[in-house]
Amino acid sequence: MKHYTLVTGASKGIGKAIAREAAARKHNLILAARSQNLLSQLAQELKQQGVEVETIAIDLLKDTSHTDLFNEVEQRGLSVNILINNAGMGNYGKFYKVPLEEHLTTIRLNNEVMVRMAYEFITRNKGKEHRCYLLNTASTASYQPVPKMTVYAATKAFMLFFSQGIRFELRRSNISVSALCPGPTHSQFFEPAKMDDIWHKNAKYMMTAESVARIALDGTLRRKAVIIPGFFNKLGAVSAKLAPQTIATATSGMLFKG
């Protein structure tokens, strides 16, 4: 059976760039997101690389989406040996000013859906002969509280801890688990998160999704535990770990004050 790399959130941003990078490395791909038209366009482009590309349009916030997605993959006779668990969202503003439903949707997509996807992937692949790779997208926001992005940063801290925990549990298995911690990266993330103003000002400090994707796939295939793309993002993560948490929180509060 041919192996495929399944990328969630493949229609835009970092997921799309990882899909392009994987196609350049001759991975067969399954692209998942809600926007079928964007997935189809990307599939057409990537097939030019001589790889097989399938698309599955799905809203991952639906209760059964994780089983629906993996069942659809199986029905098509495909096998996923790499999961890029990437679809995510953010929101911006003081906690009590953002509608509660927005916070809960962020928690659901960034944590519950990612946990469900990881569970399906692991239970369907553990003990198989082939080597498997799970990459969970966290963030440099995983390393300290981020005022005005408090819920988002907390979901990303969860993903970092979750990834490291299951990585240890699976250390003697055929499945390697990595966490990707990008810093601010050019993508469409900032529009729905209503952070356009902040990032227009800081655009020159942001990494491209392409360079994040290259580093992400390199790290995943080398079975790195945590992948932080870019020198300044690494420096920021280390500083946040070493600094007293009140100072780390105040610093990120200044950076994200808008």
Ligand X SMILES: NC(=O)c1ccc[n+]([C@@H]2O[C@H](COP(=O)([O-])OP(=O)(O)OC[C@H]3O[C@@H](n4cnc5c(N)ncnc54)[C@H](OP(=O)(O)O)[C@@H]3O)[C@@H](O)[C@H]2O)c1
What does the binding site for ligand X look like in residue numbers (CB under 6 A)?
A: 9-15, 33-35, 38, 59-61, 86-90, 109, 137, 139, 182, 184-185, 187-189
Q: For residues 28 and 86, which CB has a smaller minimum distance to ligand X in the complex? A: 86
132 vs 236 by CB, closer to ligand X: 236
Nearer to ligand X, 4 or 143 (CB): 143
Handedness of CA 56, 57, 61, 62 (dihedral sign): negative
d(CA 127, CA 19): 26
Three-state secondary structure call for residue 106: helix
* Whether 152 is catalytic: yes
CB atoms within 10 A of CB 165: 11
**Rounded Cα distance, 190 and 180, in Å:** 18
Single out the catalytic residue among 4, 133, 143, 152.
152
Least distance (Å) between residue 238 CB and ligand X: 17
Q: How far is the CB of 7 from ligand X (least distance, A)?
A: 9
- Which among 109, 91, 107 has a CA at the least distance from the CA of 99? 91
Least distance from ligand X to the Cβ atom of residue 60, Å: 4
Q: Residue 48 Cβ, how far from ligand X at the closest point, in Å?
A: 21
**Which residues in the chain belong to E strands, given as ranges?**
3-8, 28-33, 53-57, 79-85, 132-137, 175-180, 226-227
Tell the smallest beta-carbon distance from residue 119 to ligand X (Å).
17
CB closer to ligand X out of 87 and 132: 87
* DSSP-derived pairing of the beta strands 28-33 and 3-8: parallel
With beta carbons less than 8 A apart as the criterion, state whether 29 and 5 touch.
yes
C-beta closer to ligand X: residue 13 or 236: 13
CB of 212 to ligand X, least distance (A): 8
Task: Kindly tell me which of 50 and 256 has the beta carbon lying closer to ligand X.
Answer: 256
Tokens 């920021």, residue located: 236
Contact assessment for residue 185 and residue 13, using Cβ atoms and an 8 Å cutoff: yes
- Nearest-angstrom CA–CA distance, 120 and 169: 16
Q: How far is CA 99 from CA 106, 195, 253, in A?
A: 11, 16, 20
Q: Give catalytic residue positions.
A: 152
